[in-house]
Copies of this chain bind each other. A is one copy, B any other.
């Protein structure tokens, strides 16, 4: 039923997915030749994976010749012998909406929402500002496309929990991870892809017989909770403390929902 209910293709392993994301950042010019890619430690922290997995990410990119380890510095884009392959400098790929959106996401990720202007984005892409308007109606629509693209990143790799609670928790944690990765996202409005995620999340509860109105309210409450914690995160304060508060509050919210679901559905 839900758009995410039956993944069209098997989800890639996390390290491959993250490697693909870094590859996209390099391709979009967000990380340039000679600049450092995130360290193993940074990757592990940013995506919430083990350092061993993070190490595999960099191995993949090194094996491709896209990055190389520079002792005492870190892992940088390109090899000692020249710029990275795949996009010879000065050959500007034809501008597409997708490329614009991905570059905008990268720009906002790195420099913050305030730094995302149509003019700065155009400069990043090496095109005149007005060129963007042939692919995107305006900045508002661009931000909506960015949010949709971010939510469409499939990060639900493991098999989907069958129970309503496991499914809802997985969706909430996925949403949280997206907000951690894209600090501008919580302020961007919920895109259609977010509705898809919630549809996926609520499918077991719906099957269990929870009435549609309660399903809708549950989805709104959980989504709102995650988003509220994310905007608080964007305020600036201690991220670690909020991570703990997020997990705590989510557990309490799910506990409370469990009581309700018990009372309002057939049984186990």
Partner-B contacts on A (CB < 8 A):
186-187, 189-190, 214, 216-218, 220-232, 235, 241-242, 244-246, 248-249, 251-260
| Chain B residues near A257 (CB-CB < 8 A) | 252, 256
Q: Give the residues in chain B near A252, CB-CB below 8 Å.
A: 218, 221, 253, 256-257, 259-260
In the complex, which residues of chain B have a beta carbon less than 8 angstroms from the beta carbon of A251?
256
Contact A249 B221 (CB under 8 A): yes
Q: Closest B-chain residue to A230, C-beta based?
A: B228
Query: Which single residue of chain B is at the shortest CB-CB distance from A237?
Result: B190
Q: How far is the CA of A254 from the CA of B218 in the complex (A)?
A: 14
User: A258: nearest residue on chain B (CB-CB)?
Assistant: B256
Report the bound CA distance from A223 to B242 in whole Å.
12
Query: What is the CA–CA distance of A228 and B221 in the complex, to the nearest angstrom?
Result: 9
Chain B residue, CB-CB nearest to A186: B231
Hey, which chain B residues are within 8 Å of A254, CB to CB?
Answer: 256
Which residues of B have CB within 8 Å of A231? 186-187, 224, 227-228, 231
A189 surroundings in chain B (CB, below 8 A) = 235
Task: For the complex, give the distance between the alpha carbons of A213 and B256 in Å.
Answer: 20
**What separation, in Å, do the CA atoms of A256 and B218 have in the docked complex?**
14
Residues of B within 8 A of A232 (CB): 190, 220, 223-224, 227
Contact yes or no, A217 B229, CB < 8 A: no
Chain B proximity of A239: nearest CB distance (Å): 12
Bound Cα distance A259, B251 (Å): 11
Task: Give the contacting residue for A217; candidates B214, B228, B245; CB below 8 A.
Answer: B245
A245 near B221: Cβ-Cβ < 8 Å: yes
User: Which of A217, A252, A257 has the most CB atoms of chain B within a 10 A radius of its CB?
Assistant: A252
